[in-house]
């Protein structure tokens, strides 16, 4: 199973689940990273981290370590 952190820049994926039930996973869910949603990796910061995402019609920035919690359906 692939995770959001592994998507190359420009690629899209569909979320299948968020791993865990801690503050971070709740935050990701609240920001709209819910199962079934399509996410696009728009780019990365010049130093390689964090990532810039596009979902639900807006832009969101998450660190790679955080994007590793987001599982994608193949």
Partner 1 sequence: MSPMTQRSPFTVALIGNPNTGKSTLFMALAGVRQRVGNYPGVTVEKKLGRVRLGDRDCQLVDLPGTYSLAPRSPDEMVAVDVLLGRRDDLAAVDAVLSIVDASNLERNFYLLSQALELGLPTVVALNMVDIARTKGLKIDIQRLREQLGVPVIEVQANRRLGVDELKTALTEIANRRSADKQASAAPVISPFPAEFQREVARLQNALDQAHAGDSSVRAPAVTNSYHAPWPRYLVERLLLDTSGYLQTALLANGQVAPLDSELQAARKRLAAEGIMVPAVEAQARYAWVETVLRGVVQRPATRVVTLSDRVDRVLTNKLWGMLIFVVAMLLVFSSVFVAAEPLMRAIDTVIGTIGEAVADRLNEGPVRSLLVDGVIGGVGSVLVFLPQILILFFFLAVLEDCGYMARAAYLMDKLMVHVGLSGKSFIPMLSSFACAIPGVMATRVIENRRDRLTTILVTPLMSCSARLPVYTVLIGAFIPARRIAGGLLQLQGLTLFAMYAIGVITAAVVALVLKRTLLRGPTPPFVMELPSYKWPSPSIVLFRMADRGWSFVYRAGTLILAVSVIVWAASYYPHQSAEVDYRLAPRLAAIEEQQATLGTNSPQQAELAAEQADMEHAIAAAYQRDSYLGRLGQAIEPAVRPLGWDWRIGCAAIASFPAREVVMGALGVIYNLGSGVDVGEEADRDRLAGRMQAAVWDDTGEKVYNIPVALSIMVFFALCAQCASTLVVIRRETNSWRWPAFTFAYMTGLAYVGAFLTYQIGMRLPPF
Minimum distance of partner 1 from residue 52's CB (angstroms): 6
Instruction: State yes or no: residue 32 binds partner 1 (CB under 8 A).
Output: yes
Instruction: Select the residue interacting with partner 1 from 16, 29, 68, 71 (CB under 8 A).
Output: 29
CB atoms within 10 A of CB 58: 9
Question: Is residue 12 within the footprint of partner 1 (CB under 8 A)?
Answer: no
Exposure class string for 12-51: b at 16+ Cβ within 10 A, else e: ebebeebeeeeebbeebeeeebeeeeebebeeeeeeeebb
Binding status of residue 41 toward partner 1 by CB under 8 A:
no
Residue 62 within binding range of partner 1, rule CB under 8 A: yes
């Amino acid at each position: 199973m692939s995770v959001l952190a592994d998507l190359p820049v420009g690629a899209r994926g569909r979320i299948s689940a968020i791993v865990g039930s801690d503050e971070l996973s709740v935050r990701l869910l609240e920001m709209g990273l819910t199962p079934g949603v399509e996410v696009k990796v728009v780019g990365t910061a010049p130093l390689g981290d964090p990532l810039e995402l596009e979902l639900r019609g807006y832009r969101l920035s998450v660190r790679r370590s955080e994007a590793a919690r987001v599982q994608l359906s193949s």
